[in-house]
Amino acid sequence: MHFKRTLIASAILCGQVGLAQAGGYVETLPAAAGWPSGKVARAQAGGFVEGSKATLTLRNYYFDRDFRSNNPNLPARINDVSQSQAWAQGLILRMESGFTEGPVGFGLNVLGTAGFKLDGGPGRTLLGNDLLPSDPVTNEPGDNYSELGLTAKAKISATELQVGTLSPTLPVLLSVPTRLFTPTFRGAYLRSDELDNLTLHLGHIDRMNVRNSSNYEPLRVNGPYGRFNEAAESNRFDFTGLDYRWSDSLVTSYNYAQLKEIYQQHYFGLVHTLPLSEGSKLKTDLRYFNSREDGEARAGKVDNQSLGLRFNWLTGPHSLMVGYMQQSGDSAQPFIYRTDVHVHSELAMTSDFVNPDERTLGVRYDYDFVALGVPGLRGMLRYIHGDNIELPGVDHRASEIERGVELAYVVQSGSLKNLGLRWRYASNRNDYFRDIDETRINIDYTLALW
């Protein structure tokens, strides 16, 4: 079957990043500065069984990327592809135990995923869409794939250690559900809230599982358009971070990451909220990355500074954001392969806007239709313009523009309560690759098993 304009797909409304159920939007990091989405509990809640919970998410996802132009500088095998399209059904089982009683509490988390192809063929997956696994030779998408991840956990007071399958949501490693499944990693992650207002993060990862695979593989850096050598591998990613809440209105954070023999990265973030008139506030969000190559520099030269500043005015059902971001140095901003990058364009659909020397201006408007008597419905308009791009093989300073619109609805009552629907469309016009029109349509439903 070929479903060009199917109205079925999904965006999980649960998970470690926390999708806002009122609107279904991905909120990458609370306060946008690496502040954890929830404090580690300061006391053991219940027991191993008594404190457990489980959910099953049914996720249906449709992805359609149309290429609207050709580029004479690209090979014919790329120009000949007119569309990247897939439709899949996913099942996500999450089981989280409580902690055993005693000074040290022990527990176990289970993550089970299964994806099934509903539509898609080799002619529509040649350039990839990360929704289904595909054969590297024939490009034929697989009919199904599945994975079972286990995470052992231990807690003392307000410090928790997790070992096994991880999906961190930190500025230096942003693992969010932008496809059927969230990318996962194998390693250890410690988070501590022992000191008031201070959160400590420590972690080590040695393998990754990309969002359309069930196999763990060595770590790599994201490097489209020849920005880095994506084939370069590493078996070690270490990270640490500190988040400090100075007051209810000011949060700062620092993170450090090292992808061994590929790159090192420092991150500084600040979020300040200024109350204005009653029901209005102005949020200022500053993000700075400084990245250099590490050791053998297997993926190539890394020399990047990324500075972003945005202001978000919120009043009643309205939210208006204006932001500017500047890349400087001799390379693009590095981040882990097939994850997202924690910059002000993180919700963009078609590009990451972190190319070498790129300057980006973005405007976004959100509206909550509860003000018109339709609770659960939200809309968004977005415009992002990037220019001054310097890429290998491109003989000019390139530019790109993304225009986007989204509608999301969550059923508020009745037998379908919490059913989430989300439609997203974006167009990208650029002069270094190919013009793109992209549609994603999402439907998901999460059942609480206990």
Q: pLDDT of 248-262, one tens digit each?
A: 999 999 999 999 999
* 30 or 439, which is more confident: 439
Q: What percent of the chain shows pLDDT beyond 70? A: 88
User: Tell me, what's the pLDDT at 228?
Assistant: 97
What's the average model confidence in pLDDT over 229-242?
98
Q: For residue 91, what are the β-bridge partners? A: 58, 114
45 has pLDDT over 90: no
User: Tell me, what's the pLDDT at 128?
Assistant: 65
What's the average model confidence in pLDDT over 305-330?
98
Burial code (b: 16+ CB inside 10 Å, e: under 16) for 429-449 equals: bbebbbbbbbbbbbbbbbeee
Tokens of 26: 């991905």
SS3 (DSSP) at 124: helix
142 has pLDDT over 90: no
Q: Give the CA-trace dihedral at 38, 316, 361, 284, to 10 degrees.
A: -50
Closest residue by Cα to residue 382 from 10, 22, 21, 25: 25
User: Tell me, what's the pLDDT at 104?
Assistant: 97
373 has pLDDT over 50: yes
User: Tell me, what's the pLDDT at 72?
Assistant: 78
**Chain mean position to CA 112:** 19
What's the average model confidence in pLDDT over 187-205?
98
* Range name among 15-29, 236-250, 419-433 with the lowest pLDDT average: 15-29
1 has pLDDT over 50: no
Tokens of 125: 């997956």
User: Tell me, what's the pLDDT at 36?
Assistant: 40
Tokens of 18: 């926390």
User: Tell me, what's the pLDDT at 28?
Assistant: 37
Average pLDDT, the chain: 89
Q: Which helix (H) or strand (E) holds 164?
A: strand 159-166
* Size (the chain), residues: 450
Residue type, 129: N
* Range name among 26-30, 246-250, 364-368 with the lowest pLDDT average: 26-30
Q: What percent of the chain shows pLDDT beyond 90? A: 76
* Range name among 29-43, 57-71, 86-100 with the lowest pLDDT average: 29-43
Q: What is the pLDDT confidence band of residue 126, given thresholds at 50, 70 and 90?
A: low
Residue ranges of E strands in 230-376 = 237-247, 250-259, 263-275, 280-293, 303-315, 318-329, 359-368
Whose structure tokens read 């791009």? 389
Q: What is the pLDDT confidence band of residue 10, given thresholds at 50, 70 and 90?
A: very low
Whole-angstrom distance, CA of residue 391 vs CA of residue 74: 14
Q: What is the pLDDT confidence band of residue 20, given thresholds at 50, 70 and 90?
A: very low
**Chain mean position to CA 56:** 21
Write the burial class of residue 196 (CB in 10 Å: 0-12 exposed, 13-18 middle, 19+ buried).
exposed
Yes or no: is domain 30-448 CATH 3.90.25.10?
A: no
4 has pLDDT over 70: no
What's the average model confidence in pLDDT over 308-314?
98
Whole-angstrom distance, CA of residue 319 vs CA of residue 161: 37
What's the average model confidence in pLDDT over 311-329?
98
Tokens of 189: 């992650």
